[in-house]
Amino acid sequence: MNAFEPITLNNEVRLKNRLVMAPMTTYSGNPDGTVSDEEIAYYKERSGGVSAVITAVAYVSESGKGFPGQISAHDDRYVESLRRIAKTIQSGGAKAILQIFHAGRQSPANEVPEVVGATDITTDGQPTPRALTTEEVQQIVRDFHEATRRAIEAGFDGVEIHGANTYLLQQFFSGFTNKRTDVYGEDRMKFILEVVQAVQQAKEKYANDAFIVGYRFSPEEPEEDGITMDQTLELVDVLADQPLNYLHVSQMQFDSEPRRYSGTATTRVEALQETIAGRLPLIAVGSIYSKKDLENASHIGADLLAIGRELLIEPHWVEKIQRGEQVETALDTKNPPVLPTTMFEIIKSRPGWVPMK
């Protein structure tokens, strides 16, 4: 794969290169759920080189907020805020893709009316969530539909359904967190597929085929009853036949190896691509900082690469790599690039997440 060659998605949308900005939580939105001026500046600084920017995730339901300072898409009053983000990203030349989710049991108790989840189990010392009723699950499906409508009204080029990182969609798919006895426990993919269908219905009703819909997933969980690589491949096999435009695997290292897996592939990306078999493009991600990293990642078999932490360090990384210039691979904490204040402070407080100097 040549990272600087264009790619055309299955809806005939052309992306100018194979590099997208990965979604990263900023913790820096306004308290009312609208985007802050600092976030607008952050996106503006990073929208020039990549072909698409996948935003920090927006929550689709009042009960679905996952972080302080998070943007919302759960009510029509947020359309204008979302429009600011879309216009800013597009003004730099990138496609604007709004990531949407419900945090489920990962919601902080002080950020939501009530912490809810697939089932009422406690993990990692977190509050015990109340298990959602069947009717409430169906309402959240409708909430994804409405959030997609708002993204369309705001002028976004697409949405990414966030089914990764232990949030609600993953909670329903995982045997570790889904102990339900209703239809959503009998078929742990059901909620995911209903959400995909609801988003697609919003697209068909309010947009045209050029509107991009992607799905992000985590490949495995560490718990004994958690998601295995083999189970993820079963899910991906089904998702690859859905009306989606791409799949996006969430992992910390682009060439990570599968753990609980019965096949012969040496990397998760290879295993995923064997299953997808060309039906949808796959975005890979994880620890791409240098030109050498990019060269290595370009040979793992993915169709696109998401750049995350390196764009925090070096906002114009794509342009500099393409011009053959040197890039910073550690965040200069004394003279940082354009970053929202709260995001910058959180980065500094979590050694090991972003390389720093």
Task: Enumerate helices (H) and strands (E) in the chain, giving the number of each.
Answer: 12, 13
d(CA 159, CA 147): 9
To the query of whether residue 42 is one of the catalytic residues in this protein, the response is: no
Which residue in 27, 59, 167, 289 is the catalytic one? 167
- Degrees (nearest 5) of the Cα angle 237, 238, 240? 70
By residue count, the chain amounts to 357
d(CA 287, CA 139): 37
Q: Under a CB-based contact definition with an 8 Å cutoff, are residues 62 and 32 in contact?
A: no
C-alpha to C-alpha distances, 144 to 82, 106, 189, nearest whole angstrom = 15, 18, 16
C-alpha to C-alpha distances, 106 to 66, 196, 272, nearest whole angstrom = 6, 21, 27
d(CA 312, CA 163): 23
d(CA 246, CA 120): 32
Q: Under a CB-based contact definition with an 8 Å cutoff, are residues 27 and 68 in contact?
A: yes
Which helix (H) or strand (E) is 52 found in, with range?
strand 52-54
- Degrees (nearest 5) of the Cα angle 322, 324, 328? 95
List residues with catalytic annotation.
167
